[in-house]
Amino acid sequence: MNTKEQSDPCKARLIAELGYEVRASQNAVDAMDEAACRALGINRTDGRCLDVLEREGPMAAGALARASGLTSAATTLVLDRLERAGYASRVGDRADRRRVLVEATPLAIRRAREIYGPLGEEGTRELEGYTAEELRLLRDFLRRERELNERYAASLREHASTDSSAPSRPRARSEG
């Protein structure tokens, strides 16, 4: 990137507008997830864990704890609530009968489709208007933004457990 491009006021304005839209989009997703969890009759933490189970499939409770950032004890409480709601079940691992896996139930999957299905369908229709190149750009941008947020969340958790002051910037990911 050349110096002229870096100091271009039009580009700086676009970056600021994009930053605003990302934040506004995150707030809209947050509001949608809040409404969806209310419709499901569960809290946001339970909803986050249910989302992990739906995306990733059956997994051990410890893996769910790591994926959701919860402690083992908190994960057990979440699973108890999701089981009572009929949205998760503990099942034996077919490959290792000593292990227990947790999975989303057919009811959870059906209810999630009822709630999120129309949103996904409309979003897909919106995306069909983009070229393959534009879709790759959007995918790559969102992937990098997710990775950035994951790194900063990990840094905040790490610093919160050791110090109440503002965290230092996380290390940049290594390229290569």
pLDDT in tens, 121-161: 999 999 999 999 999 999 999 999 999 998 998 899 888 87
Residue 169, pLDDT score: 61
Q: How confident is the model at residue 175 (pLDDT cuts 50, 70, 90)?
A: very low
Residue 99, pLDDT score: 87
Instruction: Please check the confidence at residue 174 and state whether its pLDDT lies above 50.
Output: no
- Higher-pLDDT residue of 90 and 97 is 90
Please tell me the distance from the alpha carbon of residue 71 to that of residue 143, in angstroms, as a whole number: 26
Q: Decide: 88 and 44 in contact? Cβ < 8 Å.
A: no
Query: pTM score, two decimals?
Result: 0.78
As a whole number, the mean pLDDT across the chain is 90
Please tell me the distance from the alpha carbon of residue 7 to that of residue 26, in angstroms, as a whole number: 28
pLDDT in tens, 33-55: 999 999 999 999 999 999 999 99
Report the b/e string of 51-65 with b at 16+ CB within 10 A.
Answer: bbbbeeebbebeebb
Residue ranges of domains in the chain, CATH in brackets: 3-105 (1.10.10.10)
∠ Cα 108 69 59 (to 5°): 50
- Higher-pLDDT residue of 124 and 167 is 124
Distance between alpha carbon 116 and the CA centroid of its chain, in Å?
14
Instruction: Please check the confidence at residue 164 and state whether its pLDDT lies above 90.
Output: no
Q: Decide: 103 and 53 in contact? Cβ < 8 Å.
A: yes
